[in-house]
Amino acid sequence: MSRLVTALMRIDGMRVRTTRDLCISVLERGLGHRLPLVRHEQDLYDVWQLVDACLAYPGGVHMLVEAVENFHQGSRPMLAARAVVEELLPEPLLRPPERRELYQLVLSLENQGMNAVYFGALPALYRHAVGPVGPPLGGTVRGVQDVIACLEEAPLDMAGVPPLLVFVNDLAEYAKGAPATATALAEWTSRVAERFGLDLEGLRRLRRGEPLPAGLGPGAGAGGRDTYLVIECRPDGADFDRFLVTAWLQFAGEPGIMLRCDEEPQPLGRLPALVEALLVEDSRVVSRDNPDLTIEFVLPRGLLNQPFDQFRISVAGLPRRLGIEYPVVMRSLDRLRHQALRHNWRRKWERLRDDPANATVRWVGAPGEYDDERLFTLLSDHASVGLAMAFPPRGGEPETVDELWVGLQAGAPIVAWCRDGRDPDRFTRDARALLDSDLLSLPQKVRELRRKAVLSQHPDEPGPDEPGPDERHEPEEQEHLGLHLALVFDDADRVPEPYVRLKPPA
């Protein structure tokens, strides 16, 4: 930088503030915006500040040299300054008119349709553009222009395709909610690709033949994407009765959009109000395109028997249980924290995902029915992907080993139990229809069971699938299983952000 400042100071006009001000005015017109420039009384320091400000913008120094050349073209100091720039800084990817047009388009896109969900997808679009070994997206991303500034300086891939073009091409496909701007972005991509001698259709197939990340293709934002609200409760190290709450909104295949990350621990009693605020007040959740939403609680062992599905939320004055409106499941924080436990978990999840018809659940009727090693061995069977218990887990402390902890260590992605404990035969009878088939849709099936449980509390008003008055059996002592069924449903393909391990390059 000192060489460049020295070279510019040898130009007569750059040593005079009035001429320098005129060059800055020409430069800002070329950039299309004002420079965040702090001026200095001394000429040398003022030029230094000017160069430093230009370095923050792709092509900014080149445009500065072009602005100065308007007044000193052909002079030896000017030629020397340009030679220093060409030696130290690569030629910018975009020409000034191309850059101005692109910034105008993305500004229009932000004003029209770039809501919080779109902004949350920018890191995924960036990673898709730069590939698995590309530079990270540094700093705070305030909008699309920040991503473009990073990508303009990213190196070309092995096929000679600029990552910026991949990003803008993806953005045009992603932003179909603003059709005029999306079309203009596609046309911009076509023109720039033609200037680089690139095959546009090949570009649209993308440089590695990869599809967009799941949910980021044409029509993204439609109701077809699986949508999850993930809420983690992490015990506070100083007070184990309080928890640090982190929440993400996640679309299948995409990184999570962080909604909150508490630095002050909260008592468990505050959690229903926090969940209600996310569902009712957070615009990123409320404005989601998919009306279906699964709520996942990532919990330590001591909270897994809490009735999170029975939390009452109120929307516009109407209170109801969380688990009758949304599929509510739990995930194991302890398993996420222990890398050594993930191998069995992934193996079991892949078995369930790839061959659900032949996946089985191991039934345990009473505590101690199997010793720990025998139960672990039974659950390690190739077909076994789940554990069903007629009783609540006994553990909670890290040193306690119970059936639930054995199941989690064996990798079972599914664990279901009755929170109040009940007769094993009755539990098997009540839960058999849930756990004997179609295990991948278990969260939705359990929500239906919870709805039936609410209807069962009003015996004179049978639901559509409930027996009529003449068919109904005598009521039993215990309440409907749907009010007491706990479900761990742990998707190993979707690991919350802090627990994602770096993958090797493709």
**CA 95/CA 81 separation, integer angstroms:** 20
Does 233 lie in the same domain as 122? no
Query: Does some domain include residue 221?
Result: no
CA distance 166 to 150: 13
Question: 433 phi and psi, to 5 degrees?
Answer: -65, -30
Q: Do the Cβ atoms of 345 and 413 come closer than 8 Å?
A: yes
Q: Is the residue at 128 inside a domain?
A: yes
The position carrying tokens 């259709």 is 201
Residue 134 structural domain: 96-204
What angle do the packed helices 43-55 and 2-9 form, to 10 degrees?
130
pLDDT 10s digits, 191-223:
888 887 776 555 554 433 444 444 444 334 433
| pLDDT tens by residue, 84-112 | 888 877 777 787 788 888 888 877 777 76
Residues 250 and 247: their CA atoms lie apart, in Å, by 10
Nearest partner of 230 among 419, 441, 498, 413, judged by Cα? 498
- The token pair that represents 151 in the structure block: 């990508």
In a domain, 215, yes or no: no
216 inside domain: no
- State residue 92's pLDDT score: 75
Q: Indicate the SS3 state at residue 281.
A: coil
The residue out of 64, 88, 112 marking a domain boundary is 88
Collapsed DSSP state (helix, strand, coil) of residue 443: helix
The mean pLDDT of 479-504, rounded to a whole number, is 79
Residue 244 counted as domain residue: yes
Q: What is the pLDDT at residue 58? A: 73
Percent of the chain with pLDDT over 70: 80
Q: Which tokens is 166 given?
A: 């991949």
In 239-285, which ranges are E strands? 242-251, 257-261, 266-267
**Strand pairing category for 312-315 and 227-235:** unpaired
**Shared-domain flag, residues 124 and 79:** no
Report the distance separating Cα 15 and Cα 50, nearest Å.
13
* H or E element at residue 29: helix 17-31
- Check whether residue 235 and residue 296 sit in a common domain: yes
Indicate if the pLDDT at residue 56 is higher than 80. no
Say yes or no: 247 and 188 in one domain: no
Higher pLDDT, 326 or 468: 326
CA dist 39 and 31 (Å) reads 18
Q: How many structural domains does the chain have?
A: 3
d(CA 118, CA 144): 10
Per-residue confidence (pLDDT) for residue 469, from 0 to 100? 44
Report how far residue 457's alpha carbon sits from residue 445's, in angstroms, rounded to the nearest whole number. Answer: 19
DSSP state of 360: E
Whether residues 54 and 149 fall in one domain: no
Give pLDDT, residue 320. Answer: 94
* Residue 32 binned pLDDT confidence (cut-offs 50, 70, 90): low
- Give residue 329's pLDDT: 97
pLDDT score, position 503: 41
Domain endpoint, select from 88, 110, 137: 88
Per-residue pLDDT, 214: 43
Q: What is the 3-state secondary structure (H, E, C) of 159-222?
A: CCCCHHHHHHHHHHHHCCCCHHHHHHHHHHHHHHHHHCCCCHHHHHCCCCCCCCCCCCCCCCCC
Q: Can you give the pLDDT at residue 490? A: 95
Give yes or no for residue 284 having a pLDDT over 50.
yes
Last residue within a domain, chosen from 170, 204, 238: 204
Stretch 434-438: mean pLDDT = 89
- Do 401 and 463 share a domain, yes or no? yes
- pLDDT (0 to 100) of residue 458: 67
Tell me what pLDDT residue 129 has.
78
Tell me the per-residue pLDDT of 403-420, one tens digit each, with 9 for 90 and over: 999 999 999 999 999 998
Question: Is 274 found in the same domain as 393?
Answer: yes
Q: Three-class SS of residue 486?
A: strand
Tens digit of pLDDT for each residue in 147-187?
877 787 777 665 667 888 888 888 877 766 677 888 888 88
Residues 34 and 120 in one domain: no
Judge if 343 and 307 occupy the same domain: yes
Strand 414-418 versus strand 360-364 pairing type: unpaired
**Shortest CA distance to 227 belongs to which of 265, 184, 278?**
278
Q: Is 199 in the same domain as 340?
A: no
User: What integer pLDDT is reported at residue 472 of this predicted model?
Assistant: 43
According to DSSP, the residues that pair with 266 across neighbouring strands are 243
Whether residues 11 and 154 fall in one domain: no
Confidence tier at 489 by pLDDT (50, 70, 90): very high
Judge if pTM exceeds 0.85.
no
Q: What is the CA radius of gyration of the chain?
A: 30
Q: Which whole number is the average pLDDT over 414-441?
A: 91
**Domain-located, residue 219:** no
Q: To which residue do tokens 């109000």 refer?
A: 273
Task: Examine the domain organization and report whether 411 and 495 are in the same domain.
Answer: yes
Q: Is residue 240 part of a domain?
A: yes
Residue 349 is predicted with a pLDDT of 94
Burial annotation 341-365 (CB, 10 A radius, 16+ → b, else e): bbebbeebbebbbeeeeebebbbbe
Mean pLDDT of the chain: 81
Residue 293 lies in a domain: yes
Neighbouring C-beta atoms of residue 125, cutoff 10 Å: 24
